Structure 1
């Protein structure tokens, strides 16, 4: 089935997996298998339908379930009997054993007397086909096209459509905000989610494919001034002292799902977006480095997601906020630990230039601030008590969140 998923004008499977939830991808592969009548894969379909309908019996009534499961397995057995060279009994026997285990399903379609007759009829037919070449030729020329031809295939397809449609209604795909509410421990989830989309080539194929389908929808785009407070805060010298009151909204709790279960219904890219959203909402600042790297990577692939100003504010704001958190930690983080982040900020000098007449001034202001904080304990204590820079970054976090929302 895997080969079928990268058909004409389609996406390769590894890219498709980034945007389609696993359960929906399985449903798509099953539907394509039935439509194209890849009968040799019907065993997998029977096992999947059996497993899911045991978990959620109401997806199909007893008659529908029996018809679909038995119909798939019996059709596979007949295909094996028709194959050339002739399939031996040893190969077919596991499938016959499987049909015998489904005896209770026969009972939903017939009386007790007919159960044994129906089962023995089919098993007897298969044994006859394997032993008698003349009977096999007659069956597949005259009987098979009538009893197991277009009407049989149409019935299988109709039952499978009902099964997959009801399964889809049971597990609707959430947007990233809804998925965020289902995440349990966001601190441990973010890194794992980001790791699942850590192959730039696969993501680039996906993003470019959708760009080619049409321009990005710019209805109600974010304001060009969104997040302007971030860069203005980073440009302030450490000597400015203004007290600004802040309020932190309390976030309610909601029922959550473990990550392995959530992954079945939420595609990896949307799950990353959900984890990022929760990270910013809950202000897990120590994870902002991962957020900055993800936003940088995606906006390099699709620049139109954010304009230059928004991209600069978001990327610089995330990394700078992380650096300040490291400075604020106890015991005090040493320069060796912070230096890679400062080096990272220096690589963003072109971004500073998109926001100010003198990018070097903004850059040097923030880097000078950090060096002052690390060298002067008194200045550090004062800064984190009343400095306008940190207060604005915290108070205006919602603007950064808005930019992240638009970038996702």
Structure 2
């Protein structure tokens, strides 16, 4: 699926103008209040940002992966909290239903996801299961035509905003084949939220624990209607999510480069702008070259993603998505570090936004699979292919 070129160009121009005129001016508010204003959330719904990856037949925009990455790049050029508001709807919260859900589940859930009326959140990580997702301990015991869920999910993005969760629980024995994916409404009796997490950065994003104590969910809420397929569903959604985050990383790197260059043109030392010193130019040059290399990689892999059969896994594409995620999220960390260095002491002060981006981008190397998980995926595929 893809939006026609003319319509996509209009959407991209609208997103750029929205970022420039509404989001960037609101960055200080989000930093100070740890909250995205509701009027901005409503504007996001009006623009269609909640349904970027949802097919048009379900009320979404129906972007291809390469188109989504172009939008994600632009969204990376402002505070990451804004993208987080709808990020789980576009990605891991909805894609499992889109790929593996029953026709009834798709008709019921996806139109509300696309409109933003329903916020979906993805609940996989647990206190003792993060990178080792196949070892999760949350149990789902069959009781008549319902499952009874018990366990705790941790660091769940958008949980405080969510109307429903794509939630992984163990219905069978140990390992990946014992895991099932459930659609769990947030108002399910026995489901409660922990206290909001206080994070290093990304103020305005919302994460917390999701605690299940004898929460009863209809058996019909298993995604696809088949138990034991949850781990496969979770893994299938990650390629798209990793490419999305890679594109965001490139956009954020470009914003940091622009902030750093502007400072270097204005800040004077030894009687001239610091941008005239070659060592400052070298840092800017390294950052620009790395960002462009990462963005070229994202564009290439996203096009390959679009060429593979819909909703089918491809080990080569998955490996390349991991390469993009590894390189781009590590790259933006280096760019942010150089940005602080170019700003000198001012880069350590909250008044300058480069300090915020320095904290915000650190999370990008952790979610959607840590850098080390990407290394394992890439290494194993290289050995297998050889």
Q: TM-score, normalised by structure 1?
A: 0.21
Q: TM-score, normalised by structure 2?
A: 0.21
User: Using CA pairs below 8 Å that are at least 6 residues apart, which structure has the higher relative contact order?
Assistant: 1
**Which of 1 and 2 has greater Rg?**
1
Q: Which structure has the highest helix share of the two?
A: 1
